[in-house]
Each structure stands twice: as C-alpha cells, then as structure tokens.
A and B are shown apart, each in its own frame.
Chain A
Amino acid sequence: MKLAFQLAYKNLIGAGLRTWLNVGVLAFSFIIIIFYNGLIDGWNDQAKHDSIAWEFGEGKLMHSDYDPFDPFTILDGHGVLENDQLNDLTPILLRQASIYPEGRMLSVALKGIDANQTILELPTAALKNSTAEIPAIIGRNMADAANLKTGDNILLRWRDKGGTFDAAKVTIVDVFETNVPTVDAGQVWIPIKKMWEMTGLENHATFFIANEKYQPSNILDWKYQNQEMLLSDLNEIIAMKKVSGSIMYLLLLAIALLAIFDTQVLSVFRRQKEIGTYISLGMTRSQVVGLFTVEGSMYSFFAMILGSIVGVPLFAYLAKTGIGMPAASRDMGIPLAERIFPVFSIQLIVGTILLVVIAATIVSFLPARKISKMNPVLALKGKLQ
C-alpha cells in the first residue's frame, strides 16, 4: 500500500499542470462547500439565538383562539389567567391599530408588554422610566418605515373592547436595534397596564412569554409551545436553504469529479504499457486497480492541502469579521443580522473531507476497473483494448 501511495504521488507530481488543474477545481469545490455550509450554520445560530432572546424566551403560552398566522384571530384570541398561573410568565396583549405619520395611515400591531419584564431583550425599561402619557418603543425598521425617531409624538388610533374608536398621541421613548423583524416591522410596544386601560381589557393577554423556571401544565383555553416548536419554522427555512444551496455546490463538485474521471479514463488508456509492466513484474490486477484508485483519490488529498492553505486564513478572517448582508435581504421577515459570522464546525470540516475523498475515490475506481479485464500481454505491447 505504501508503494501505491509513493507511485501515485510520483505520477501525480509528474503529470504537472494536469494534476494541479484537477486539484485546483476540487479545492475550490471544497472551499465553497465549507464556506456555504458555514454561512448557513452561522445564520442558523444567530437566528435561533436572536429569536429566543427577542421573541420566544423559553416558550409561549398562547390563547387557543389566537393563531399567529391569522390576523383575524387577534380580535377574540385573548383571555385572562388566574393569579397563581401567572408565575414566570410575561403577558403580551396584541391589538390592531393605526398610526398617522405625515398624514399617511399605517396599520400596526399594537403590543402591550409588562414594562418590568426581563425575559426578552426588548428595552422595556424605557417604558417604565418614561413620564409620557403613552410611552412607546419601536424597532429600527418600523422607525424607518414611519420616519419616526426617539422623542416623536405620533397619533395612534385603536378600538376598545366594544369596538369604539379611540385616539391619542403616543411618545416614542426608544428605537431599538434588532435582527428579529417579527418584533419590529409594523409594531408598536407600549406598557401593558396602559393598554389594559386604553382597551378596557383588564388583565387580558394574547400570549405569555415563559422564563426558564416555567413549568408547563394543561390550562383550559391556552396552549403551550416550547422553544423547539417555536423554532420549527426557522429550522425548516434553514433546512430548505441548505438543500437549495447544496444543488449549487454539488454541481461544482460534479464538475471537479468529472475532471478526475476523465483524467483516470485517459490514464488507463494511455498507460497500458505501464499497467502491463506492473502485472508482469508480479502485481495482481487488483493491486494495479488499487494503485490507479489511490492516484485518483490522491487528488482529493492534494485538494485538501491546497484548500487548507487558501481556506484556513480566509475562514479565520470571515469567522472573525463576519459577512455583511445586504439591507434588502433583511426585510424578508426572517431573523437576519447585518453581519453573519460563519461557523466552521469540526463536523462540517470532517464531513466535507469525507464527502470529497469518498466521491473522488469512487470516480477514480470506476475507470480503473477496466484494468482487471485487460490482457497483460496486449497491455505490455501497448495495443489498444
């Protein structure tokens, strides 16, 4: 086997440019696979972390009539919990409302939240500390859409529990930066106590955010969703992205493997005398097949070395500085940070190495199988078979 490696190494180095072209394409595929998956994993980590920190907490206890994907359920999807059921939960009441920036009407989701909460990273302390009649906090996206800034007063129109219109000025006391659009876009956050007063829905909540101490139990008219359930949509999006991205890099890998395959076919065809010589010197056919297969798979080892020389500093740099995401892609409605820091895990690197090595070995072996059917005498004479 050692001999096979030595011979394969000498043959590949001897082939010069042809070897390095194959190795270059394979190394490029290797880098792209690791980069793309690292980017998706980085996004996954960031999106999950931010979603938990800003939106989900440890889980959500939702009123059974409320469906987050159906705005028509907002009207009736709320209720009251008993005092002893409120431990470790932060109430959020959701109503539809309109604001009127610069004479335009903008429909918003008005959310009342306990100003003393500490589960979510929403800066609710600003609501607590404000002396404004109706203090409100909004996200950067919302502030940009409505052209609002801290200190602005804006007219808010809402309906009370009976459906009667009411309107008053709210004061923007803070504009927060978040990567989670579901707590930002089209939303205005006010203290829940004020909202109870405004709507007449005393102690009502649409859903509760649980902290880590919360013990879920069956409560009539309420359903509990843990972190895993809440993150399932995000997981599906990421899984889908991985699959769609894999098409691109598998194509690239296929091109590289095709190049190795062609090289192997050409080698077997042009090196018949060499094959005949090996067999006449005492090597079995399978040893010769092994030699050619090792030669083919050695491309992947060279690609790994070349890929590491280029990739390691590049990935180290990207993992440190992150990759900037275009502003437009942050309006897609999914948590996406301004910069994503790719995560290059051991599993990812080992997995990619195995994928490339095994794939290169298989495509090297397929043309080399022909050797086992060769007539060594004809091969030695260099006659076409």
Chain B
Amino acid sequence: MKYLSIILIISLSWMSFNLEAQKIPDALDIIEKVDANMISKTSIVESKMVIQGRRKSRTVVSKGYSEGDKKSFTEYLAPARERGTKMLKLDDKLWIYSPSTDRTIQLSGHMLRQSVMGSDLSYEDMMEDRELTDIYDAKVTGQDTLDGRKMWVLELNAKVDDVSYAKRKMWVDQERFVPLKEDLFAKSGELLKRIKMSDFEKMDDRWYPKKMNFKDMLKSGKGTDFIVVKMEFDPEIPAYIFSKASLKK
C-alpha cells in the first residue's frame, strides 16, 4: 500500500508536470503574437519623448510615419530648437535634415551610436529592423507576475555576431501578448538597458502600450519616456513621404 501511494504520487506529479509543459507555448509563437500587436503594415504616430535629465526634463514632440520596419519618416515639431528636424530611415540607411543648416546628412558608423536628441535611445536602437527571431534564439524560461498580470518570461540569446545586445529578457502578457518589460544585456551579463511598457490601450483590435520608458541602467536618472499621443494603424501613406525629397519639404 505504501509503495502504491508513492507510485501514485510520482505518477500524478509527472502528469501534472506534463500538463504544465503542454501549457507553455512556443517562444516563437509568443513573439509572433507580440509582433502582430506591435507591428502594423503602416502607422502614423504622434508622440512625445520626455528626456529626463539630472536637474530638469525636456520634451520633444514628433510625428512619425512608418511602413513595415524598413521605412520610417519622423518630423520633430517641438521644442523650437528641434522644430523642422526630419529623419528618414530606408532599410539600413538613415538621413537627418537640419533646418538651421538646410543640410541633409547621412548617419553612418559611429554617428549611429550617438544618442537621439540627448535621450537614452541611440540612432542604432532605432535602426534595428531585423526580426528578433532572425538574430536571437528564443525560449520561454518561466512565468512571472507584473502589475498583477501573468507573464511569460522569454530569454533571447544572440545567434549572430553583429547584434548590439548579446541577450534579451522579455516579459510578455499571457493574455494580451504585449511585452511589459524588456531587459537588454551585455555579453558579460551586465544589465545595460531596460524598456518598460505601460498605459496599455486597445486600439482597433490590438493592445498597444501608450507609454514606453527607455532606461540606460548604468546611468543614474529616470530614463526617457516615449508617450504615444495619437496612433493610427494601417493608414494610407503616400510613397513620397519615404523619399529624400520629403526631408526638405
């Protein structure tokens, strides 16, 4: 009887473990569902970027157009110093137009590693347009609870050499399939950057974070907030927007 009980307990544990394992979805499925929420064919977004410095913060207002993840065009509307600055990204090329000099320059090499308008974001961070699944091996490492919601915890390890971050850790809402938090790590395992998403809103038929906080974890400070003021998914965007000619318009 005693042995029977032990066998029964082991069998039940094994069955429940298997059931649990069956419940854990594939990391690629999760990422695909996240992409379905976060990426649209085209989008127009009006946003505020709040750069929080040591003593004071400053807000940069912009309007951005994007088509897939290869083409994007951003025009800065405020403050006065940045007004009229435009940025065009086509595939792996990035141009910036500055109204004060009436010049367009193409950013390359080290220039891409500079911070965007003094924020915690680099141009390179904005340039990364490869699919996560193309450059990382993803796996679900567990579950967690954030802001009272159940999360899948995903670990992504670089499978190519030319990525900025060797490892990423992502917390994805189990129900809405939106990321709430993402940690970006150096090769040594040092946490370098943290992205936190909040203020989720259902837009059309998808969940989207209206606020994202980008924080360089090695620096003190509160990081940079990216706040969505207005968002349009899949609007018609004229082709000329994604041309160099539109920078000087």
Chain A residues proximal to chain B, CB less than 8 Å: 71-72, 74-76, 96, 98, 100, 102-105, 155, 157, 159-168
Q: CB of B238 within 8 A of chain A? A: no
- Pair B110/A167 contact, Cβ less than 8 Å: no
Contacts of A155 in B (CB 8 A): 190, 218
How many Å lie between the Cα of A96 and that of B112 in the bound state? 13
B218 and A72 contact, CB distance less than 8 A: no
- The residue from B109, B218, B221 contacting A157, defined by CB atoms under 8 A apart: B218
- B144-161 vs A, Cβ < 8 Å mask (1 yes, 0 no): 000000000000001011
Q: List 21 A-B contacts (CB under 8 A).
A: A71-B110, A72-B109, A100-B219, A102-B220, A103-B220, A104-B220, A105-B218, A155-B190, A157-B192, A159-B164, A161-B161, A162-B160, A163-B162, A164-B158, A165-B186, A165-B187, A166-B166, A166-B186, A167-B188, A168-B188, A168-B190
Residues of A within 8 A of B192 (CB): 157, 165, 167
Is there contact, CB below 8 Å, between A105 and B158? no
- Chain B interface, >50% SS class: loop
8 tightest A-B CB contacts, nearest first? A103-B220, A162-B161, A167-B190, A167-B186, A166-B187, A162-B162, A100-B218, A165-B186
Q: Considering only CB atoms, which chain A residue lies closest to B187 in the complex? A: A166
- Whether B237 is near chain A, meaning CB under 8 Å from some CB there, is no
Q: Which residues of B contact A71 (CB under 8 A)?
A: 110
A98 contacts across to B, CB distance below 8 A: 218
Max chain A C-beta neighbours (<10 A), residue from B110, B158, B219, B221: B110
Q: Which of B109, B158, B221 has the most CB of A within 10 A?
A: B109
Interchain CB contact under 8 A, A165 and B166: yes
* Cα–Cα distance between A157 and B161 once the two chains are bound (Å): 17
Kindly provide the distance from the CB of B177 to the nearest chain A CB, expressed in whole angstroms: 28
Give residues 164-193 of B contacting A (CB, 8 Å).
164-166, 186-188, 190, 192
- What are the residues of chain A within 8 A of B110 when measuring CB–CB? 71-72, 74-75, 96
CB distance from A260 to the nearest CB of B (A): 55
Assess whether B163 is interfacial by the CB under 8 Å rule.
yes
In the assembled complex, the Cα of A155 lies from the Cα of B187 at a distance in Å of 14
Known: A71-B110, A75-B109, A164-B166. 6 other contacts (CB 8 A): A105-B216, A155-B190, A157-B218, A161-B161, A165-B187, A166-B187
With both chains docked as a complex, state the minimum distance between the C-beta of A95 and any C-beta of chain B, in angstroms. 11
Chain B residue nearest in CB terms to A71: B110
Q: For the complex, what is the distance from the CA of A75 to the CA of B111, rounded to whole Å?
A: 11
Chain A residues with CB below 8 A from B111, complex form: 72
Q: Are B165 and A165 in contact (CB under 8 A)?
A: yes
Q: Which of A72, A96, A104, A160 contacts B187 (CB 8 A)?
A: A160
Q: Which residues of A contact B160 (CB under 8 A)?
A: 162
Whether the pair A166, B164 counts as a contact (CB closer than 8 A) is no
